[in-house]
Structure formats: structure tokens, C-alpha cells
């Protein structure tokens, strides 16, 4: 019976690989990887020669039995394209199945965009919520942001390899522009950059430039409620409703920011909506 090893690999700087990771990759009977080309280049660099099998979002179901069969014969290493497996990458189902069938599962820690970005962000690290990749569709993205708007812990997001400008605009609307944030780009790579400021400042910055690369966005948690006056609550509700938000979503966001109870804010939102309909 073999062991399933979850092996972290470099984000970009090959010096970040660990001696333990190299040993496991050298000894594994099979390496399951999100991208065989990227992993193949990594193995070639370190003069490692092991069989590879692709394991990614669209073939993870069909690959499951093959990998479990390989585990019955020897050790298997699971790697992602870069960084730590399973952090916004496929693999949960494989790990769950391996555990259920009695195979040992061992993490080989190492590089992680989450672990690199959060400590360097300058934001609180005692409590954080890892949200992962936001949806690409604007409506779905805003819905996720609204769900975490009242969270007091530091928030960490991954952004695909394109400019974060659209996401930052939505963050200003859903989280508020005055929150502190760090925009971490191309971590550990040649063009690594960490921009620190506010969400609104980041939005302005990335409207003016188009750097590419992998982004990790670290955002400060929600500010303590300030118990707004009713006029301020009504003004904010009116703004959200005019922007097309549903009464429920508008009430949830304003309640989280204002210190008012959700029921009271929802009642005000209904009244505003009804008044608009009568105009």
C-alpha cells in the first residue's frame, strides 16, 4: 500500500523547492499533476524522471480510479501547476477517496501564494478568510463579495492571470473603498510586486496600468459598525437599489456597515423601493 503525498512546488523561483519535496518526487511511482508540461519542466530542471498523469478539473472524475489503483502499488505524489495542491486547485475528491480507502495522506509543505502574500501584506494575520478565485461573471463576483462584506477577518482572494481592474471596481462597491488592501503580483517571480493602500486607491492604480500575471488580493476585514443615522442608512440603501441591487442584498450590505439590525434595514429598503415605484 502506498502513500498519497501532497507536494508543494515553486510558484516561480525554483530555489523555493524543499529537499523533502525533491526526495518525494524522486521516489514516487507516479506523479499526478494539474499541468504535465509545467511539472515536466520542473522535473527536467532537477534531473528527475518519473511518470506523469494529468489530473485537473475536467478529468478528475475519470482519473480517480487510475490514481487509486496506482496507490495500491506504490506512492503517488499530487502536485498543482504551482504552489500548494488543493488551495483553489483540484484534489479534494482524490484526498477524500484515498482516506476512505485507507491510504495514508501526507502533506509536504512549501510554497504557497496564500502563505507568501498574507504575511507581507501588512494586514492582520491572526484571523483570515481565504475566498480563493472570484467568479469571472460580474454578477456572480459581486454576489460573493456581498457574502463576505461583513466579515471582520482579513480576506484573501486569488485573481486569474489578467488585470484586476474589474474586480477592484466591484470591491469598492461591495466592500467599501476605504479598506486597506495589498495587491500582490507575480509572487517569487522576476517581476514580483506588492502594492499597498486602500481598495479605492488600488482601483485607480489599476485603471491606469495593465500589468499581467497572477494576483493575490489581501483585503482588511470589515470596520466595526458605526451606528449610522437613519438618513445615512436611507441614502446608502437608495444608492444600492438605484445600482440594481435587490432589496435583500442592499439590506444585507448596509446592515453590515451601519450597525443597524437586518430587519430594520430591510423594512427601510422596502419603503424606499415602494416610494420609487410610485414616482
Residues 238 and 159 in one domain: no
- Residue 175 maps to a domain: yes
Number of domains in the chain: 3
Which residues of the chain, if any, have pLDDT below 70?
A: 161, 224-226, 279
**Structural domain that includes position 156:** 132-219
Instruction: Classify residue 150 by its DSSP letter.
Output: T
Nearest to 88 by CA among 133, 129, 118: 133
Instruction: Give, in degrees to the nearest 5, the angle at Cα 148 between 142 and 153.
Output: 145
- Give yes or no: residues 210 and 138 share one domain: yes
Burial degree of 140 (CB within 10 A; 0-12, 13-18, 19+):
exposed
> Where are any strands of DSSP class E within the chain?
4-7, 30-33, 52-54, 76-79, 105-108, 128-133, 154-159, 180-185, 193-198, 215-219
Same domain, 82 and 21: yes
User: pLDDT tens digits, residue range 63-99?
Assistant: 999 999 999 999 999 999 999 999 988 899 999 999 9
What stretch of H or E contains 60? helix 60-73
Last residue of a domain, one of 219, 245, 264: 219
- pLDDT score of 61: 87
What would the pLDDT profile of 95-145 be if each residue is shown by its tens digit? Answer: 999 999 999 999 999 999 999 999 999 999 999 999 999 998 999 999 999
Same-domain pairing of 106 and 168: no
Q: Do 239 and 213 share a structural domain? A: no
> Distances in Å between the alpha carbon of 214 and those of 58, 133, 159, 174, 195?
21, 11, 6, 23, 14
Question: In this structure, how many other beta carbons lie within 10 angstroms of the beta carbon of residue 93?
Answer: 12
Q: What pLDDT score does 274 carry?
A: 85
Tell me if 225 is assigned to some domain. no
Do both 179 and 92 map to the same domain?
A: no
Q: What is the pLDDT of residue 121?
A: 97
Q: What pLDDT, on the 0 to 100 scale, is given for residue 201?
A: 94
Q: Is residue 117 part of a domain?
A: no
Contact assessment for residue 13 and residue 113, using Cβ atoms and an 8 Å cutoff:
no
Question: Strand 30-33 vs strand 52-54: parallel, antiparallel, or unpaired?
Answer: parallel
Amino acid at each position: 500500500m502506498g502513500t498519497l503525498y501532497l507536494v508543494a512546488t515553486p510558484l516561480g523561483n525554483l530555489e523555493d523547492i524543499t529537499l523533502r519535496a525533491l526526495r518525494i518526487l524522486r521516489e514516487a511511482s507516479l506523479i499526478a499533476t494539474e499541468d504535465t508540461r509545467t511539472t515536466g519542466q520542473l522535473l527536467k530542471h532537477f534531473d528527475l524522471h518519473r511518470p506523469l498523469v494529468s489530473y485537473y478539473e475536467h478529468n478528475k472524475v475519470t482519473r480517480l480510479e487510475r490514481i487509486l489503483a496506482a496507490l495500491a502499488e506504490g506512492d503517488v505524489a499530487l502536485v498543482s501547476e504551482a504552489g500548494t495542491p488543493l488551495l483553489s486547485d483540484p484534489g479534494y475528491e482524490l484526498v477524500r477517496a484515498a482516506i476512505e480507502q485507507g491510504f495514508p495522506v501526507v502533506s509536504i509543505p512549501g510554497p504557497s501564494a496564500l502563505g507568501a502574500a498574507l504575511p507581507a501584506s501588512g494586514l492582520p494575520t491572526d484571523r483570515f478568510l481565504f475566498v480563493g478565485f472570484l467568479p469571472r461573471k460580474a454578477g456572480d463576483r459581486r454576489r460573493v463579495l456581498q457574502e463576505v462584506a461583513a466579515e471582520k477577518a482579513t480576506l484573501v482572494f486569488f485573481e486569474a492571470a489578467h488585470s484586476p481592474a474589474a474586480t477592484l471596481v466591484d470591491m469598492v462597491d461591495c466592500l467599501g473603498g476605504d479598506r486597506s488592501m495589498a495587491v500582490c503580483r507575480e509572487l517569487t517571480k522576476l517581476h514580483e510586486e506588492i502594492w499597498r493602500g486602500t481598495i479605492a486607491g488600488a482601483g485607480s492604480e489599476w485603471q491606469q496600468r495593465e500589468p499581467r500575471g497572477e494576483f493575490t488580493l489581501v483585503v482588511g476585514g470589515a470596520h466595526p459598525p458605526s451606528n449610522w443615522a437613519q438618513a445615512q442608512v436611507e441614502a446608502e440603501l437608495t444608492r444600492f437599489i438605484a445600482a440594481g441591487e435587490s432589496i435583500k442584498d442592499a439590506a444585507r450590505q448596509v446592515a453590515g456597515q451601519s450597525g443597524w439590525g437586518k430587519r430594520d434595514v430591510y423594512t427601510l429598503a422596502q419603503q424606499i423601493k415602494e416610494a420609487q415605484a410610485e414616482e
